[in-house]
Structure 1
Amino acid sequence: MNKGIVAAAAAVVFMAGIGVGYTAKPGPSPVMYHDKPNQEAGKALLDVALLQAEDGSWERIGVGRVYYLGGFKAEGQRIFDELLAGKHDDGDAYRIARVYREAGEWEKAKPLFERYLAANPQEAKDLAEVGAYYLLDGDRAAAERLFDRSFAADREEMWATLSTAGAYLGVQPQQ
């Protein structure tokens, strides 16, 4: 009788383990990156990260950012296009615009930033950050209009003041 209980318990534990194996999220494995060229290792890990991100927009944008900036631009763009084509938060467009800005693609970033600011006209920190990008890109008049709007929305927002000061000194806003 004791052996029967042990066998039944072992079967339950085994089946539970199988169930966990089928529902567990994928994870990185050393075979993905040990002794692999950097591009190959990065791509393998990004593919796993995308599966781990599931449907989270912030997470998918994070993965898309690394694809985009890491040499797999088409894969990153596909993620951004999918997110922007569906129902998405205003902040998603803002985060994607930051990636384009970071990639040196200001003309691609600008319309996304403008769309975000039109929908969020009182976000002092964001107004100042985008203003800083304009100033750093050489458009002082547009930058100062955004700085004015930022300080009108909230004169006590330290991050807005910091982004503005940094832009005049050639320092990118902290993200």
Structure 2
Amino acid sequence: MSDEATSLEDLKNLTTGAAAEAGSEVIEAADVLDVELPEPKIDEHGRSYATGKRKNAVARVWIKPGNGKVTINGRPQEEYFVRPVLRMIIGQAFGVADRVGQFDVVCTAKGGGLSGQAEAVRHGISKALTYYEPALRRPLKAAGFLTRDSRVVERKKYGRAKARRSFQFSKR
């Protein structure tokens, strides 16, 4: 019985030791790769600019270091996006990048509805963050915030009531 207990403890020690060794190997492999990040794209005012899109909404976004103030079309985000869900969508990019309250955002949003504009602003903020700090690209890409969601409303076709619905059939 004591032999089994010691062997189980030995196995636990072996697995934790192997995991620690494997972790150190991964770190060393990352050091060996020495990936060179692109230069930050910052204008003379200390801002980064990006365009975000979703559905028919387009958002032009400028970010600069600050205290977390977000302005959309000249209005604060609490006034422009009244629904808390839309404000949460905008803040997701900062949460994933661990930069909450560190950047001021000024953006203009047009086209589409409010939800499309909110997601366009999030897309623009994510791109602008990667331009300001290229090291943030990996977490934002993993969260899916850098991918432009290309789903748009399908156009209406002639001979149809809507995009796919046909007119009501009449037997007589």
TM over 0.5: no
Which TM-score applies when normalising by structure 2?
0.23
Q: Could you say which structure has the higher strand fraction? A: 2
Which of these two proteins has the greater Rg computed from alpha carbons?
Answer: 2
The structure with the largest helix share of the pair is: 1
Tell me the TM-score normalized by structure 1.
0.22
